[in-house]
Amino acid sequence: METLSFGERLTRCLCGEEVDRIPFGATFGWGCWPETLERWRRETGRDDLNPAQELHFEPGYAMPELYCDIFPKFESKIIEEDEEFVVVRTESGVTQRRFRHSENMPEFLEYPVKTEDDWQQLKEERLQIDQPGRAAQDWDIFRARLKETGEGVRVGMLPC
């Protein structure tokens, strides 16, 4: 079998068709906490260490400029802070408590939807697919890029 591009390999694999090899690392992306990467670089003595490259992951996805989350975004703002924590409302409208000096998982304190009325309002104001600015992609340029590179395409990001 001929060597496939990542996009061809991924599409064939997901459709249960024959592939030249199983795509490796073809998930929603791979990354690590900044503190972890900093430690690995320090321990290996390699400032340019790229774990995904070291593990021979596939190159990644082409992602269109399409905003799939709540849009327009909520205003992000700091609600409270002390030496250890910062409580913020995110662009998704979620109130979180985060460690000030770490990228660990935040504590989720409150969500923008608490009632049926909240849900209806959010749907009407921030979940419309045709909202101006939601899709900023020049689709002709994007298609040309895909034809040239053979990349796989991913639409959306976690958790959307």
Which pTM value belongs to this model? Answer: 0.60
CA-to-CA dists, residue 133 to 104, 114, 129, 145, 158, angstroms:
31, 27, 10, 22, 20
Same domain, 2 and 62: yes
pLDDT per residue over 30-69, tens digit each?
667 888 899 999 999 999 998 878 887 877 778 888 888 8
156: containing domain? 1-66+135-160
Please state the rounded mean pLDDT for residues 134-146. Answer: 90
150 pLDDT more than 60: yes
> Do 111 and 84 reside in the same domain of the chain?
yes
Same domain flag for 88 and 122: yes
DSSP symbols for 72-105: SPPPPEEEEE-SSEEEEE-TTS-EEEEETT--PP
Identify whether residues 116 and 90 lie together within a single domain.
Answer: yes
Number of helices (H), then strands (E), belonging to the chain: the values are 5, 6
């990001």: which residue's tokens?
A: 157
Q: Is 127 in the same domain as 140?
A: no
- Say how many domains are in the chain: 2
Is the domain of 114 the same as that of 153?
Answer: no
Claim to verify: residue 74 and residue 127 sit in the same structural domain: yes
In the block, residue with structure tokens 């969500």 = 111
